């Protein structure tokens, strides 16, 4: 019996030795992937083959236990609608409607073949059993495959570092990162080298990148945060109209007025739009996708730099004008726009950034593994890297020191593993 990838240009069958396991590994990021099973039958009486499989430990994921978004279902065990076998070329197959786990294929010129579609849950395992039958339906030989185990894979094509910022080549190596994902049956493939970004892309704050500034290549916070006029004016959801972010003399005497709240909200949204635009421009100018990038800082209001400009207040003399960002309320001119400084981020499209201020070998690798786990839920070129549930709000676990997917993975000073619940989610089980 020969097991191979159904598509000749794909490598969906790997050696189990990658994860120190026996048998072979079936890469199932796409639950529609199929493997080709071929069998040579050098017996003149061989007429057909009945295909089936065994679950060695009877512990493959039940359909009701695994990820299911209504369209994609990863678990197959005990699902009467699950389909495992598909016809390959002219080897016609027939199925027993009462047993969806088996199928029969005909033998042509001493050979037969069939396509097998296992579950999409990491760690599920199978032994394919082929019963060779004569024309009367009698079994004349039984052939069994080695253990086939479902895995998923995350592969980064490129590793970059800003000029003057450390390379992550050592920290992001397979040797350092694979151990985090072994129990989740995820194979991590690291880039082979780190590429230094050119000067214009090696800015202090990537989310303040200014592609049109040929000198500093980035926006200065006190310039872009300065109050501006609006033309045309902005109509707020409460019906009020904002013509300018600048405070009138009357407003300066009443810092709790609704008009100041409206101006602060408009100011915040303008700067968040610019942050997003700068980030997209920076990504596009590098042509980033499926990459890990070592950067200096993300944004002055999300950093860990004690930059005095972060305390610039455009609404003086009012010193306590509230702004709310992603549920977190702070005050204009009071520092960070987030509960804790950003140590790493997922920028979608398979892009992971790691910030320079994170130090200590263990904390650096914790942050890289944490962000890679976020990235498993990304879409690259319109296709999901793999399917899974989110760990919790913001794709973070809400436990207390139990797993790597809690916020702030840089705070430990020692290697932190994924929790049992996080492992299940990474494998493809329901949260």
8 Å CB contact between 328 and 132? no
Q: How far is CA 114 from CA 33, 50, 94, 317, in A?
A: 13, 10, 11, 76
Residues 202-212, mean pLDDT to the nearest whole number? 97
Per-residue tokens: 140: 């004349």
Shared domain for 131 and 276, answered yes or no, is no
Residues 412-422, mean pLDDT to the nearest whole number? 91
Task: Give the C-alpha separation, 336 to 343, whole Å.
Answer: 13
Lowest model confidence (mean pLDDT) among 54-58, 217-221, 397-401, 415-419: 397-401
Residues 299-315, mean pLDDT to the nearest whole number? 90
Instruction: Report whether the peptide linkage leading into residue 232 is cis, meaning its omega lies within 30 degrees of zero.
Output: yes
Q: What is the CATH number of the domain that holds 113?
A: 2.60.40.720
Confidence of residue 99 (pLDDT cuts 50, 70, 90): confident
DSSP state letters, 168-236: -TTTTSHHHHHHHHGGGTEEEE--SSEEEPPGGG--SBGGGB-TT-SSS-B--HHHHTS--EEEEEEE-
Task: Give the C-alpha separation, 329 to 65, whole Å.
Answer: 38
Number of domains in the chain: 2
What pLDDT sits at residue 326? 87
| Bridge partners of residue 38, in order along the sequence | 2, 113
Lowest model confidence (mean pLDDT) among 92-96, 191-195, 207-211: 92-96
Residues 374-385, mean pLDDT to the nearest whole number? 92
Task: Give the C-alpha separation, 68 to 66, whole Å.
Answer: 6
Shared domain for 124 and 174, answered yes or no, is no
Shared domain for 139 and 164, answered yes or no, is no
Residues 407-431, mean pLDDT to the nearest whole number? 91
**Residue 136 CB neighbours (<10 A):** 8
Higher per-residue pLDDT: 410 or 257: 257
Lowest model confidence (mean pLDDT) among 96-100, 142-146, 175-179: 96-100
pLDDT above 70 (res 9):
no
Confidence of residue 401 (pLDDT cuts 50, 70, 90): confident
Shared domain for 378 and 295, answered yes or no, is yes
Task: Give the C-alpha separation, 323 to 264, whole Å.
Answer: 7
Q: What is residue 343's three-state secondary structure? A: coil
Range of the domain at 383: 156-427
pLDDT in tens, 341-364: 888 999 999 999 999 999 999 999
pLDDT above 70 (res 411):
yes
What pLDDT sits at residue 425? 97
Shared domain for 98 and 186, answered yes or no, is no
Query: Measured between alpha carbons, how far apart are the two ends of the chain, in Å?
Result: 37
Domain finish residue from 92, 122, 153? 153
Task: Give the C-alpha separation, 311 to 258, whole Å.
Answer: 23
pLDDT above 80 (res 410):
no
Lowest model confidence (mean pLDDT) among 2-16, 79-93, 270-284, 378-392: 2-16
Per-residue tokens: 153: 């894979």
What pLDDT sits at residue 400? 77
Higher per-residue pLDDT: 4 or 215: 215
Higher per-residue pLDDT: 118 or 303: 118
Domain finish residue from 112, 136, 153? 153
Shared domain for 103 and 165, answered yes or no, is no
Residues 241-260, mean pLDDT to the nearest whole number? 95
CA 89 to chain centre: 35
- Tracing tokens 């999409």 back to the chain, one arrives at 120
Shared domain for 191 and 63, answered yes or no, is no
Q: What is residue 36's three-state secondary structure? A: strand
Task: Give the C-alpha separation, 425 to 431, whole Å.
Answer: 6
Confidence of residue 409 (pLDDT cuts 50, 70, 90): confident
- Tracing tokens 């082929």 back to the chain, one arrives at 130
Q: Are strands 48-54 and 99-106 parallel, antiparallel or unpaired?
A: antiparallel
What pLDDT sits at residue 277? 98
Higher per-residue pLDDT: 13 or 426: 426
Shared domain for 285 and 363, answered yes or no, is yes
Shared domain for 22 and 125, answered yes or no, is yes
What pLDDT sits at residue 224? 97
Confidence of residue 339 (pLDDT cuts 50, 70, 90): confident
Shared domain for 236 and 144, answered yes or no, is no
8 Å CB contact between 142 and 129? yes
Shared domain for 367 and 221, answered yes or no, is yes
């Amino acid at each position: 019996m020969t097991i191979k990838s159904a598509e000749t240009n794909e490598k969906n069958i790997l050696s189990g030795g990658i994860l120190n396991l026996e048998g072979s590994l079936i890469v199932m990021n796409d639950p529609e992937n199929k493997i080709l099973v071929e069998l040579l039958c050098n017996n003149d009486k061989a007429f057909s083959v009945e295909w089936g499989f065994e679950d060695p430990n009877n512990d493959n994921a039940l359909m009701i236990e695994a990820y299911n978004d209504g369209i994609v279902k990863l678990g197959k065990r005990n699902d009467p609608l699950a389909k495992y076998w598909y016809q390959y070329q002219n080897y016609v197959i027939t199925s027993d409607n009462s047993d969806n786990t088996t199928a029969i294929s005909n033998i042509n010129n001493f050979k037969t073949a069939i396509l097998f579609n296992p579950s999409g849950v990491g760690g599920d395992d199978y032994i394919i059993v082929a019963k060779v039958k004569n024309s009367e339906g009698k079994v004349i030989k039984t052939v069994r495959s080695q253990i086939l185990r479902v895995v998923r894979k995350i592969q980064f094509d490129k590793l970059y570092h800003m000029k003057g910022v450390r390379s992550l080549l050592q920290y992001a190596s397979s040797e350092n990162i694979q151990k985090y994902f072994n129990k989740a049956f995820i194979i991590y493939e690291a880039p082979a080298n780190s590429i230094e970004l050119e000067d214009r892309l090696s800015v202090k704050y990537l989310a303040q990148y200014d592609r049109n500034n040929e000198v500093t290549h980035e926006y200065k916070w006190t310039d872009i945060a300065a109050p501006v006029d609006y033309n045309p004016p902005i109509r707020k959801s409460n019906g009020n109209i904002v013509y300018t972010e600048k405070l009138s003399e009357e407003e300066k005497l009443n810092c709790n007025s609704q008009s100041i709240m409206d101006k602060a909200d408009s100011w915040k949204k303008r700067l968040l739009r610019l942050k997003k635009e700068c980030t997209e421009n920076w990504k596009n100018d590098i042509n980033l996708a499926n990459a890990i990038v070592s950067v200096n800082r993300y944004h002055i209001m999300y950093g860990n730099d004690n930059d005095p400009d972060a305390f610039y207040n455009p609404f003086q003399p009012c010193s306590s004008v509230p702004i709310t960002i992603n549920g977190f309320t702070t005050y204009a001119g009071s520092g960070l726009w987030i509960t804790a400084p950003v140590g790493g981020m997922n920028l979608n499209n398979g892009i992971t950034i790691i910030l320079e201020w994170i130090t200590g070998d263990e904390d650096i690798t914790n942050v890289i593994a944490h962000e890679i786990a976020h990235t498993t839920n990304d879409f690259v070129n319109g296709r999901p890297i793999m399917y899974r549930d989110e760990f919790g709000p913001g794709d973070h676990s809400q436990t207390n020191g139990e797993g790597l997917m809690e916020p702030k993975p840089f705070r430990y000073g020692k290697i932190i593993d994924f929790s049992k619940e996080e492992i299940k989610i990474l494998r493809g089980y329901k949260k």
